[in-house]
Amino acid sequence: MKLPRPRGKLSEALVADLTGGRALDHAGDPDGPDDLHLSLWMLYELHYRGFEDVDDRREWDPRLLAVRAELETSFEDGLREDVGEVLAAADEAEDLVSQLAAIASHEGEASVSQFLHRRATAAQYREFLIERSLYHLKESDPHAWAVPRLDGAAKVALAELQYDEFGGGRPDRLHSALFARALEEAGLDASYGAYVDRVSWHTLAVNNAMSLFGLHRRFRGSAMGHLAAFEMTSPLACRRYLQGAQRLEMGAAVEHYFDEHIEADAVHEEIAARTICGSLAETEPELVDDILFGAAACVHLDEVVARHAIDAWTAGGSVLLGGDTSEVA
Ligand SMILES: [Fe+2]
Ligand SMILES: [Fe+2]
């Protein structure tokens, strides 16, 4: 993957540093959320697939890790402030699974799945696939960081869930490969990270939250709470995405991806909420607040993305940076 285009002084300095230019010492004050989240996303990608022009050894460069830590602190602080309303949905619930269910069913005022189901045009549907490609082309990778950080029933259940996400023994069944086929069928570029320059900070933040939780052992509870909320909100949304794809005749591979997830994620939500989070809370009860924080972060950031998308689409505009998809495909 190529390095993305900078979006401010921090991402510009980071790209310069990664390509052998002047060393970056501090994050300083990023030029707004696009600059912050793109920089954080680049630093996280060093742990996934890396970049063509960047030495793989930079993954563990202490200077870059220090910059990353600065950005993570401001991201985490902001998230903790912002999840309050979603988290409050769990107040009345009595046990952890009901608390997770209450968080997962928190309704924001905007719903992408409802919009795609009934109102979206094919161009808007393609924009949705583009935004989602950032995550789905590495589907389940961020949660895999948690495997060595868990033990017992939680570890076994996470491995069971991920066996499915990672193809159940068949490379052509990797969920990331199913999504790549959906992108191709929609006439889009299915190469990893192809659209990073087109997605706004809202989508980058969704991805960064998963990496933040996955890459820090202290956030193992939040990583699993995030996974639970992700799976619990998925079956209903995927049913609507499927119906939208059928209405717009997006093609068999697009339909197949979402159809597959209606049933798969109904199983995954049970595994994630009850077995993974449930066992984790039993063996490490001090992690319950972290589990709920991760779940609330997932739902809150989904709402942030949804509000941004629906505002753009209902105003007749594009959710993508640089305009609509006519020149994307
Ligand atoms: Fe999946
Ligand atoms: Fe799943």
- Residue 228 CA to ligand 2 center (angstroms) comes to 9
Q: Which ligand is nearest to the CA of 264?
A: 2
Show the tokens assigned to 184: 């191709």
Provide CB contacts within 8 A for 76, sequence distance 6+. 212
Residue 277 Cα distances to 23, 211, 274, 288, angstroms: 41, 18, 6, 8
Q: Which ligand is nearest to the CA of 182?
A: 1
Q: Which ligand is nearest to the CA of 167?
A: 1
Report how far apart the first and last C-alpha atoms of the chain are (Å, whole number).
18
Q: Which of 110, 79, 87, 81 is nearest to 296 (CA)?
A: 87
- Residue 231 CA to ligand 2 center (angstroms) comes to 6
- Residue 283 CA to ligand 2 center (angstroms) comes to 24
Ion ligand 2, residues whose Cβ is below 5 A away: 265, 268
- Residue 87 CA to ligand 1 center (angstroms) comes to 25
The yes/no answer on whether domain 85-327 falls in CATH 3.20.20.110 is: no
Q: pLDDT truncated to tens, each residue of the chain (329 aa)?
A: 999 999 999 999 999 999 998 899 899 899 999 999 999 999 999 999 999 999 999 999 999 999 999 999 999 999 999 999 999 999 999 999 999 999 999 988 899 999 999 999 999 999 999 999 999 999 999 999 999 999 999 999 999 999 999 999 999 999 999 999 999 999 999 999 999 999 999 999 999 999 999 999 999 999 999 999 999 999 999 999 999 999 999 999 999 999 999 999 999 999 999 999 999 999 999 999 999 999 999 999 999 999 999 999 999 999 999 876 654 54
Residue spans of the domains in the chain: they are: 9-82, 85-327
Helices (H) and strands (E) in the chain, counts: 15, 0
- Residue 222 CA to ligand 1 center (angstroms) comes to 19
- Residue 258 CA to ligand 2 center (angstroms) comes to 11
